[in-house]
Amino acid sequence: MARPLLHSPKARKGAVALPRPHPRRTREEHAQEIAQDYVEIIADLIAATGEARVIDLARRLGVTHVTVARTIQRLQRDGFVTSLPYRSIFLTGTGRKLSKESRTRHEIVVDFLKSLGVPAAVAQSDAEGIEHHVSRETLKAFVKHLQPKKRRGKKRRAVNR
3-state secondary structure 8-38: CCCCCCCCEECCCCCHHHHHHHHHHHHHHHH
State residue 40's pLDDT score: 94
- What is the radius of gyration, based on Cα positions, of the chain? 20
Q: What is the mean pLDDT of residues 128-134?
A: 85
Q: Where is pLDDT greater, at 7 or 35? A: 35
pLDDT tens digits for range 34-64? 999 999 999 999 999 999 999 999 999 999 9
Q: What is the CATH number of domain 27-160?
A: 1.10.10.10
Residue 63 CA to residue 51 CA, distance in Å, equals: 19
